[in-house]
Amino acid sequence: MKAVPAACRLRIRPEECVACAACPSVCHTLALRMDALELVLDEDLCDNCSVCVRVCPVGALYIERSNEGSG
Amino acid sequence: MRSTSNEKADAVVVGGGIAGSLLAGLLARDGFRVVVLEKRPVIGVPVRCGEAAGSKEEISKFIPVDEEFVAVELNGARGFAPDMTFFEKRMPGFGVVLERDKFDQALAAQAVRRGAEIRTYHEVVALEKAGSRVTGVKVKDHTNGASYTIASPVTIGADGIESFVGRWAGLTRHLRPKEIHSGAEYLLEGNGFPTDTIEIYVGTAIAPGGYVWVFPKGHRVANVGIGVHPTMATDGTARDYLDRFIDERYPGAARLRFIAGGVSGSRPLDTMVGDGVLLAGEAARHNNPFSGGGIMNSLEGAEEAHKVVTKALSRGDTSAEALKEYDAAWHNRNGRSIRKFALLRELFFKLNDDDLNGLVSVLDKVVRATDGRIADYADLFRTAARTTPGVLWKAKRMLW
């Protein structure tokens, strides 16, 4: 039986992100990229490794805590 | 409005920054049809840089110096230890602080005058390949949403630290946290800034694994920025560290502009070329991994790339084999020293505040003793090591 990859829990705070391109540089799956003006996240490629969260100079990225079991 | 969906060019340059514009213009001047694709709507905007560069004389080798893009001419540098003692070295005219947006635009204008075509708001979204050979690019025109392709014997990735050309071509991989500095910078207005001197501040609480810089930009105005090691900075983001520094040192200053970015601390790439593809500028990891400075290195790297690409295009052979001399040329010009700076960077991570205080004290003695008669800062460190054996011993201990 094939394992289902965990859903991406990376989130961007759009009001904080300044599209500086630090995070695509460290993303090992190419899930993060810059288009002309803003940061774009491909959730299918993200594996929640959270290196980008450490590297972001302004704290615009975070991993959402899962709330399984809560109402 | 462009209606053709498949175009041809001799060279496609991805990215209209410093390396991209210089390289495009040099190739166009040789008679080649060159198209530059810049994904942003305006060249050079927004500025994402500390903006300090080499001397006017060094810059003039690449473009005539126009005072329009020079904010300040620099005559010296000060280095502050964690305990706020400092050493100072006067070096008249050693560098400038640029207006990066105007500088990038001037380079782009020069490229256009030389015959290159620059398309802004056109984003390269994929490489076209035949097997492993890069045969061109797929482009999205953001002005009208249309897509088109350009076929070309050589595609040049000059698309910055995040370089997707490099990653798609398999020439670069993602940077690891210890290979990147998280950077943030304000343009500040207020009292107490130097007028013609750059200032560097180090300290494990001030800028873990990095430094704060103060680069004067004019009357009462300065770029004040920081680079921190992402995993050594445990007390908040790069911006948090910078805010604390500014609130302490320049409490009344007004924040006029904020930018952030990553600065590559990577050693040079094993190779910057593939079949039909070549990297230049930060995309090729040309910048200095210790200081973070990239402007002069990007200009020099683009110049080296031009020599190799023009020959390859003339001979009709843009295979990796034909382009490979670029790797050796860069290694000889700057690659060797970049490797040394990468090592120095590793050493720097290991220094604590006592070490930093001691180092600045030694550098102060050395500068005074030699009356400033030192060629460059590599020479400065060598002289410091000779003058104070203790520094050599510490370096030796740290390397183990």
Specify the higher pLDDT residue, B399 or B307.
B307
Does B11 have pLDDT greater than 80?
Answer: yes
Task: For residue B222, give the nearest of B197, B248, B203, B247 by alpha carbon.
Answer: B197
Same domain, B120 and B25: yes
User: What is the per-residue burial (b if ≥16 Cβ within 10 Å, else e) of B272-308?
Assistant: bbbbbbbbbbbbbbbbbbbbbbbbbbbbbbbbbbbeb
Can you tell me the distance from the alpha carbon of B224 to that of B242, in angstroms, rounded to the nearest whole number? 8
Task: For residue B284, give the nearest of B117, B169, B141 by alpha carbon.
Answer: B169
Residue A70, domain member (yes or no): no
Task: For residue B124, give the nearest of B40, B46, B8, B39 by alpha carbon.
Answer: B39
pLDDT at B5: 73
- What residue type is assigned to position B81 of the chain? A
Residue A52, domain member (yes or no): yes
Same domain, B250 and B181: yes
Question: Is some CB atom of chain B closer than 8 A to the CB atom of A25?
Answer: yes
CB contact under 8 A, B162 and A36: no
Specify the higher pLDDT residue, B340 or B314.
B314
Same domain, B232 and B290: no
Residue A4, domain member (yes or no): no
pLDDT at B111: 98
pLDDT at B115: 98
Q: Which chain B residue lies closest to A56 (C-alpha atoms)?
A: B182
Can you tell me the distance from the alpha carbon of B41 to that of B9, in angstroms, rounded to the nearest whole number? 22
Q: What is the CATH number of the domain that holds B188?
A: 3.30.9.10
Domain holding A43, by residue range, is 10-63
Task: Answer whether the bond into residue B64 is a cis peptide, omega within 30°.
Answer: no
CB contact under 8 A, B176 and A58: no
- Mean pLDDT, range B102-109, rounded to an integer: 98
Does B149 have pLDDT greater than 80?
Answer: yes
Q: Which chain A residue lies closest to B263 (C-alpha atoms)?
A: A22
Same domain, B153 and B108: yes
Same domain, B162 and B285: yes
Domain holding B378, by residue range, is 347-399
Q: Where is B205: in which H helix or E strand?
A: none
Number of residues that make up chain B: 400
Can you tell me the distance from the alpha carbon of B103 to that of B93, in angstroms, rounded to the nearest whole number? 18
Question: How many domains are there within chain B?
Answer: 3
pLDDT at B271: 97
Residues of B in contact with A61 (CB under 8 A): none
Can you tell me the distance from the alpha carbon of B328 to that of B310, in angstroms, rounded to the nearest whole number? 16
Is B19 in contact with B294 (CB distance < 8 Å)? no
Same domain, B140 and B105: yes
Beta B52-53 vs B86-98: how paired, if at all?
antiparallel
- Mean pLDDT, range B47-52, rounded to an integer: 95
CB contact under 8 A, A36 and B41: yes
Same domain, B169 and B181: no
Best mutation site among A26, A50, A52, A56 for testing chain B: the one with the most B CBs within 10 Å? Answer: A26
